[in-house]
Structure 1
Amino acid sequence: MEQEGVRKFILDWERGSAPAPQAIEQLVDWRDILHGRGLVGADPARYGGIGFGNLSRRTATGFLITGSQTGALLRLEAAHFCLVRGWDIPRNRLQATGPIAPSSEALTHAACYAANPAIHWVFHIHSPELWHAAPSLGLASTDPAIAYGTPAMAEALTALADHLPLPCLIRMGGHEDGLIAAGPTAEGTGAILLQRLAQALA
């Protein structure tokens, strides 16, 4: 397993304006919910204190995603999001604009949106309980040999998200405690995470 929060793709980032508040309203609300349950955030006792977890939503020109290392913040504002407007998974490259650079998992989010046009929301969380319970819950999983934030991880997620019923939940086998939920609506995407977490804790 590798250190959390390390960007592995080539980033072409231009500083720009923050998104409109209404564009990130549901992202902020769901981030509050997941942050309150310790599924997104930063904890000195976990992953060397590096922030973990990120959320995004599709837009007409790409997708909005939480910014790099915003996990420690109690609540996010528009200035903590950026727009990913282009990506090239085989070349490990991403283009973004906004007041902050995108999360180190942005290429993984891009893979989900590229895989299925019905996916409009992607939530990446960390849960030791759910991650370890994933096989018994029958969750799809990427190969443990594939590291996070790489073209190989993006391609593995593309292959899974292309055919799984939505909303879907995928265990990132080579990313300690990491899972990806993706779906057409924010409510469905968040619900599958919370439902499966409840099953794992039971």
Structure 2
Amino acid sequence: MSRLLIIGPPGAGKGTQAARLSVRLDVPAVSTGDIFRDNVRNGTELGVLAKSYMDRGEYVPDSVTDDLVKDRLSAADATGGFLLDGYPRTIAQVRSLDEYLAERGESLDAVIQLTADHEETVQRLLRRAKEQGRSDDTEDVIRRRLEVYAEQTAPLIDLFASRGVLVSVDGLGSIDEVTDRIVQALDGLGITAPAA
């Protein structure tokens, strides 16, 4: 049973690694980006609201995000563990998540920080925008998202480090290389894949 968070700047490869770790550790990957995009695609009230923020490269307000994530973590498949991707992004969201998990007698087991060169992540995101036709990934929006990350999310790194749950992993290299680095780092914390 693992309760994990993967954190890092936009374009560091969080979604790719979250999907791989989800399978390897047999826990659901819970991506706020996916939740938002599903709502945008389906034209829900939340989707329209979320899109207005996403198109500007801003974060969706905490209250909306907190409720969405809590709802997802209460699903049956997440009771045995989960891997959060894209949440929490602010100190206020960390507090909300801490309170929610404490009510369940739980806490995060590890926080995986993917690090990546600033310009490399911009180029990755521009390539992804072309490949996937993502309207929220223009160069100006990408650079704004990186600024917002530095301002609001980077302070979480120090918080999780002070709790002794942070492992930093270089997010550059092949997908397999990065996955291997993460698995090694988690092994060091005693977090391993369940026996088949």
User: So what's the TM-score if we normalise by structure 1?
Assistant: 0.29
Q: Considering only CA atoms, is the larger Rg found in Structure 1 or Structure 2?
A: 2
Structure scoring higher RCO (CA < 8 A, sep ≥ 6) equals 2
Q: Quick check: which one's helix share is greater? A: 2
User: So what's the TM-score if we normalise by structure 2?
Assistant: 0.30
Q: Quick check: which one's strand share is greater? A: 1
